[in-house]
């Protein structure tokens, strides 16, 4: 089980939202690249999770400068938010991304998903953000009636390397992740799953560990690290034990 620290970027700042609400924002750092470096220095291996919040709303990448700075610093990262065409995928891969996360585009443009998975195998993940089991799009601003599990099965068939599953109602609430829905989704597919949303304590990290048998092998942690509820070292040690 791997720990994946999150750096959410909006307006050039490192922020955190509650349930994806842009009106409920906390700024944790004025320098997202420096924040990513801090997490990476503590982590030492693995990957940093970058969210382009402006891109998720605008529909195009808004953080290329930060991504290229991460590449120059030698920090491995994955990135999602506003990636809607092959040109953007190629630009971000050139900027050093180890993994591209398609969200809204995977739903609206299945051909892009299929073609990008074929062209860049093992590089394309799909972010599935769900509210009460239904897919949400465009930075969680648009709800659909699409079943999240059925969609996960579709993107696996298209060639996605991984699902990054976020339960929106848990995100930023510091009340624990939605283990039940994550397990249900993971059991319905064969590709690995990253759990995201609601991690608040070391007990939550411990609670996720049994899901590794179902294919959940990464935990994204954001707000809890910023609020110093526990350290990266503590979470890494527990996840690996």
Query: Is residue 54 among the annotated active site residues?
Result: no
Q: Are 101 and 126 in contact (CB under 8 A)?
A: yes
Residue of 54, 129, 167, 171 with catalytic role: 129
Q: Give per-residue burial for 218-232: e unless 16+ CB within 10 Å, then b.
A: bbbbbbbbbeebbeb
Q: How many helices (H) and strands (E) does the chain have?
A: 11, 12
φ and ψ of 80, to 5 deg: -140, 160
Query: Is residue 129 among the annotated active site residues?
Result: yes
SS3 for 12? coil
Tokens coding 214: 């179902």
Residue of 8, 54, 167, 204 with catalytic role: 8
Catalytic positions are 8, 129
């Amino acid at each position: 089980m791997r720990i994946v620290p999150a750096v959410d970027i909006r307006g050039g700042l490192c922020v955190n939202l509650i349930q994806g609400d842009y009106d409920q924002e906390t700024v944790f750092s004025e320098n997202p690249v420096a924040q990513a470096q801090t997490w990476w220095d503590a982590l030492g291996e693995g990957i940093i999770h970058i969210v382009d919040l402006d891109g998720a709303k605008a529909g195009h990448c808004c953080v290329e400068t930060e991504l290229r700075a991460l590449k120059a610093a030698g920090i491995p990262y994955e990135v999602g938010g506003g990636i809607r065409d092959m040109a953007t995928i190629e630009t971000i891969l050139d900027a050093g991304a180890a993994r591209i996360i398609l969200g809204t585009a995977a739903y609206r443009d299945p051909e892009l998903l299929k073609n990008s998975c074929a062209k860049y195998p093992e590089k394309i993940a799909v972010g599935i953000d769900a509210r009460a089991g239904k897919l949400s799009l465009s930075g969680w601003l648009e709800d659909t009636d699409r079943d999240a599990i059925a969609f996960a099965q579709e993107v696996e068939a298209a060639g996605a390397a991984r699902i990054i599953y976020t339960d929106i109602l848990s995100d930023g609430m510091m009340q624990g992740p939605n283990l039940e829905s994550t397990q249900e989704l993971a059991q319905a597919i064969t590709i690995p799953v990253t759990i995201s949303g609601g991690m608040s304590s070391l007990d939550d990290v411990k609670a996720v560990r049994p899901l590794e048998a179902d294919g959940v092998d990464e935990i994204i942690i954001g707000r809890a690290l910023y609020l110093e509820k526990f350290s990266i070292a503590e979470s890494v040690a527990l996840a690996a034990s």
